[in-house]
Chain A
Amino acid sequence: MSQLYVLALTSQKYPSLTVDGRRIEFIEVGNVVAAIERRAAPPAVSEIELRSQHDAVNALFSQADALLPVRFGAWIDEPELSNVVLRQQEKILESLELVRRRVQMTVRFLAPPAGEREDQPPRLHPETGTEYLRARRNAQQWMPDEAMALKTAVRDLVVAERISPSSEDRGGSFHRASLRQVPSLYHLIARDAVAAYGTATLPFRTATITISGPWPPFAFAPDPWL
């Protein structure tokens, strides 16, 4: 029996489309619309599948005014989808309004190896839960010096901002050569402000800062913990 594989949530129905051999339909779930595929099994995590889903979400994003991508692997049956969406419906609708006609730009900072610069992110080596939570909060708030200048340069273009903690401090193994990744910035900007954002951030494109986009607003989904 096929279940639903959910790619994104939107605020209105669109005609079905086929992307990369994937037939995508739109079904209403309360006041939200889910972009889904009917699949007999969930996709395995692989680069091919990830790229295929990314392409599909981008194709949906080019059609939809407001779209929230769903995290990879959302293979569920219809009652469960209704249950989960209806429980978060208010937050989802708020987020859809926030991202309407907007795109995400991603700024990643790559820090040189520890000891080569003074502004290092706080490390997480807690002995108690309180210390862990304090260190985690500090790590999330920490930004390299260049970030503040970049934030100032794009201040007038940015509608909303999200910050992710360092993948290293989250126990990840995200290394690129000898560089360590530190917090990433996600900026939500108007769709027609991409060129201006690109110009404003041009001086900041260095070996240790990468800026990419425009992307669908992946980082502006409602937080499942709130």
Chain B
Amino acid sequence: MPRPPARALPPPPPPRAEMATLVPSQETSLTDVIDNLLNRGVVLNADLILALADVDLVYVRLSALLCAADRIFPPPR
């Protein structure tokens, strides 16, 4: 009686290194390192929160100041 053909094994999982090839170059990697660590991530320090706000916070405060000034000073006659 002929032996049944051996069952084909499923293809092995892709090696872990294959994921790393999605990072195309060292230059991009440095871009990612900087972006990931300096622009992203959980913010824990109060002073860092102030630092990262940079121009946005200035604008928010300026807007608040302008709004407040609008209400403090009487309208021109």
Residue ranges of A at the interface with B (Cβ–Cβ < 8 Å): 6, 9, 45, 47, 50-51, 53-54, 57, 68-76, 81, 84-85, 92, 105-106, 108, 129-130, 132-133, 136, 164, 170-171, 176, 184, 186, 194-195, 197-198, 205, 210-216, 218-219, 221-222, 224
| B36–A194 touching, CB < 8 Å | no
Nearest residue (CB) in B for A6 is B44
| A74–B22 touching, CB < 8 Å | no
Chain A residues, Cβ within 8 Å of B42 = 9, 68-71, 74, 92, 221-222
| B59–A132 touching, CB < 8 Å | yes
Chain B residues, Cβ within 8 Å of A198 = 19, 22
Q: List 23 A-B contacts (CB under 8 A).
A: A54-B33, A54-B36, A68-B42, A69-B36, A71-B37, A74-B48, A81-B44, A84-B46, A85-B44, A105-B22, A106-B32, A108-B28, A129-B62, A133-B59, A195-B19, A197-B22, A198-B19, A198-B22, A212-B23, A212-B32, A214-B22, A215-B36, A218-B35
Chain B residues, Cβ within 8 Å of A53 = 37
Residue ranges of B at the interface with A (Cβ–Cβ < 8 Å): 14, 18-19, 22-24, 27-46, 48-49, 52, 54-56, 59-60, 62-63, 66
